[in-house]
Structure 1
């Protein structure tokens, strides 16, 4: 990020904090915690794996390839972050 952009963002943040401190506190980074890869990604990966197996059984090669790839991505990557309170 360029210095000019950072300076503008800081100015906006300062004005927001002065105008509405409660709203500014709602959006502060201190209140947000990155959710871990957790259960949702595991469930999605397993469900997609089952869908891949179903595609294999009904002889749909494209569906099998797509679902296998998606399942592998869901189960192995940890770089996607979901922010929650």
Structure 2
């Protein structure tokens, strides 16, 4: 991101914080809500079980994909979505 864009985004953020601090505070938390953390853990365990099923039916590609997805879901602490 260019410095100009960063400066504009910082200016918009500052104006939003001044105009509506309660609304801005809802987006300022870096940690996901606890429900999102539990959902991510459940989804990670589910994909881990799916990986074992793929291993048992001898589907190597499915096993590799599910194992990678399960590891990513269980080990990540937060999801940040960035748009360009």
Whether these two folds match at TM > 0.5 is yes
Structure 1 range deviating more: 63-72 or 5-14? 5-14
RMSD (CA atoms): 3.2
- 1:14-52 CA-to-partner distances (Å, cap 9, x unmatched) read 4x78xxx56x853x1x22233156201110110000100
Alignment of 1:6-85 (within 5 A): 6-9=6-9, 10=11, 14=15, 21=19, 26=23, 28=24, 30-32=25-27, 33=29, 34-35=31-32, 38-81=37-80
Which stretches in structure 1 are left out of the alignment for 5+ residues?
A: none
- The number of residues matched between the two structures is 75
- Larger relative strand fraction: 1
TM-score with structure 2 length normalisation? 0.63
TM-score with structure 1 length normalisation? 0.63
Match of 2:5 in 1: 5
* Structure with bigger gyration radius: 1
